[in-house]
A and B are shown apart, each in its own frame.
Chain A
Amino acid sequence: MRLDLTAKSFGPRPILGPVSLTVGAGQRVALLGPSGVGKTTLLRIIAGLDRDFAGTRAVPDRLAMVFQEPTLLPWRTALTNLTLPTGATRAEAAALMAQVGLAGREAAYPRQLSLGQQRRLSLARAFAARPGILLMDEPFASLDEATRDRMLDLTAQLLDSSGAGLILVTHDPAEAARLSARPLTLSGSPATLG
């Protein structure tokens, strides 16, 4: 994945300055920085969710994203939430659900799962897409400590077994360290990578 960003602004307000970022296969980086600095904006540009920027972007065919909220389809079962967006087979999806501790809940709808289970399902969905690079936008924010620890362990295991690269947006350097991600700090106005 290679991004050469010249500038990004919202209306007259510049948000991001020149940013050059390259992430190779299996590499892991963490984008750190204070709230509101532009970390999520940068990740959205990489994910292709924001195309209104100056610069160039080259990404692998298979990208997957874990959002701050689980962002599941409430009207589809847990299993189809994995198969529909990713094209994974039912067997692959069921195996991934078992890996994140959701075996037996395939037929449940998202609102029948706890928030922690929904987040694990969202993590499983990202890996069901067999991503070259996984993008994560503060996926451990607002979780209690035990759930956060479990999610971090699961993410590390799945990253190890899949060999996927990682771009993690977080404000917590400890999370970056737990996932062995190289910390890059976004700072200034407009923000650049330090």
Chain B
Amino acid sequence: MTEPQHRRTLRRPGVALGPGLVSAALLIAVWAVAASLTERPQHLPSPVAVFRVLGQLIGSGELWLHVGMTLFRVTAAFVAAMALGGALGLWMGRSRTADRWMNPALVVLLNIPALVVIVLCYIWIGLNETAAILAVALNKIPVVAVMLRESAGALRPDLDDMATAFRMSPLARLRHVVLPQLAPAIAAAARSGIALIWKIVLVVEFLGRSNGVGFKIHLAFSNFDVARLLAWSLAFVAVMLLIDMAVLRPWQARANRWRVDAP
């Protein structure tokens, strides 16, 4: 897609939404065909069966309680990971000494399997909310830090000089000079982060919580109830898609207003 075409698409969300809806409908059609061909419907229930379960979950109010708990954990871990990972990445990108000292720890954290971090947090801290959120945040912090470090190392020196010459306060400098330059990296880290975080939250709930979508998937797995398992997964995917469309995309479009040639 050329640059002007891309801009037009960004301005008219309806245009971007069309292909998305068509591809989702195609996916459901493929699923329906596969479900009708299988000899074991309990392994792959039809979309209708799954949506029926989803309807029951919505009607009983059970969906909102568990999706709400998962969403709370996703939000808390996301905020912690973006704040700490962002600060760490900015520091490492701006200071060669900090980068030299922190890089080995970052590489180690990046390569520890998520499951190990989760299990260790539960063992060391206990089967509680703090351990659950910390385990998720610890998995994402190094990823955010690496993404932000690369951008922070390439900040424009001329704008740094301008801020110094005009004696801008450190806070004003961060807000108006540094963060806007990091906005594309922050947006990329946020969007990839939210996708990674909610998947890890489900594992954390699966292993050690008594509520949330991950817990319900655990129960569905124990009862070999694939329809229920898919219904819970679909419900949460829908919530995350909604967050992407209603929060992340509009924020990104707003942050990119200055890139447009004509007012």
Minimum CB–CB distance from B169 to chain A (whole Å) comes to 10
- A84-B176, A108-B263, A112-B262 given; A47·B158 CB < 8 A: no
* Closest residue on chain A to residue B177 by CB atoms: A73
* Closest residue on chain B to residue A62 by CB atoms: B167
Contact with A along B158-180 (1 / 0, CB 8 A): 11011111111000100011001
Q: How many A-B contacts if CB must be within 8 Å?
A: 60
Minimum CB–CB distance from B121 to chain A (whole Å) comes to 39
- A73-B159, A73-B176, A73-B180 given; A64·B166 CB < 8 A: yes
- A108-B263, A109-B263 given; A74·B165 CB < 8 A: no
Minimum CB–CB distance from B155 to chain A (whole Å) comes to 13
Interface residues of B in 245-260 (CB under 8 A from A): 255, 257-260
Contact with B along A103-115 (1 / 0, CB 8 A): 0000111111000
CA distance A65 to B262 in the complex (A): 29
Name, among A48, A64, A84, the residue most crowded by chain B CB atoms within 10 Å (CB to CB): A84
Query: Does B3 belong to the interface (CB within 8 Å)?
Result: no
Taking Cβ atoms with an 8 Å cutoff, the residues of B that contact A are: 158-159, 161-168, 172, 176-177, 180, 183, 255, 257-263
Residue of B166, B172, B258, B263 touching A74 (CB-CB under 8 A) = B258
Can you name 29 A-B pairs with beta carbons within 8 Å?
Answer: A47-B164, A48-B164, A49-B165, A63-B167, A64-B166, A65-B162, A65-B166, A67-B158, A67-B162, A69-B158, A71-B159, A71-B162, A73-B177, A74-B258, A75-B183, A76-B176, A84-B176, A85-B162, A86-B166, A107-B263, A108-B263, A109-B257, A109-B258, A109-B260, A111-B259, A112-B260, A112-B262, A112-B263, A135-B165
- A109-B263, A112-B262 given; A63·B176 CB < 8 A: no
CA distance A86 to B172 in the complex (A): 11
Minimum CB–CB distance from A3 to chain B (whole Å) comes to 16
A109: B residues at CB distance < 8 A: 257-258, 260, 263
A159: B residues at CB distance < 8 A: none
A107: B residues at CB distance < 8 A: 263
Taking Cβ atoms with an 8 Å cutoff, the residues of A that contact B are: 44, 47-49, 63-65, 67, 69, 71, 73-76, 84-86, 107-112, 125, 129, 135
User: Does A111 contact B165, Cβ atoms closer than 8 Å?
Assistant: no
CA distance A44 to B165 in the complex (A): 9
CA distance A110 to B164 in the complex (A): 20
CA distance A48 to B167 in the complex (A): 10
Name, among A65, A76, A85, the residue most crowded by chain B CB atoms within 10 Å (CB to CB): A85
* Closest residue on chain A to residue B259 by CB atoms: A111
A86: B residues at CB distance < 8 A: 166
Minimum CB–CB distance from A121 to chain B (whole Å) comes to 13
B180: A residues at CB distance < 8 A: 73, 75-76
* Closest residue on chain A to residue B183 by CB atoms: A75
A112: B residues at CB distance < 8 A: 260-263
CA distance A73 to B161 in the complex (A): 12
CA distance A111 to B260 in the complex (A): 8
Minimum CB–CB distance from B32 to chain A (whole Å) comes to 47
B168: A residues at CB distance < 8 A: 84-85
Name, among B161, B162, B177, the residue most crowded by chain A CB atoms within 10 Å (CB to CB): B162
- A65-B165, A84-B168, A84-B176 given; A71·B263 CB < 8 A: no
User: Does A64 contact B165, Cβ atoms closer than 8 Å?
Assistant: yes
User: Does B166 contact A85, Cβ atoms closer than 8 Å?
Assistant: yes
- A69-B158, A111-B259, A111-B261 given; A84·B164 CB < 8 A: no
A76: B residues at CB distance < 8 A: 176, 180, 258
Interface contacts beyond A69-B158, A107-B263, A129-B166: sample of 18 additional A-B pairs, CB < 8 Å, sorted by A: A48-B165, A49-B164, A63-B167, A65-B166, A71-B158, A71-B161, A71-B162, A73-B176, A74-B258, A75-B183, A75-B258, A76-B176, A85-B166, A109-B263, A110-B258, A111-B258, A111-B259, A125-B166
Name, among B158, B161, B261, the residue most crowded by chain A CB atoms within 10 Å (CB to CB): B161
CA distance A84 to B89 in the complex (A): 26
CA distance A111 to B262 in the complex (A): 9
A75: B residues at CB distance < 8 A: 180, 183, 255, 258
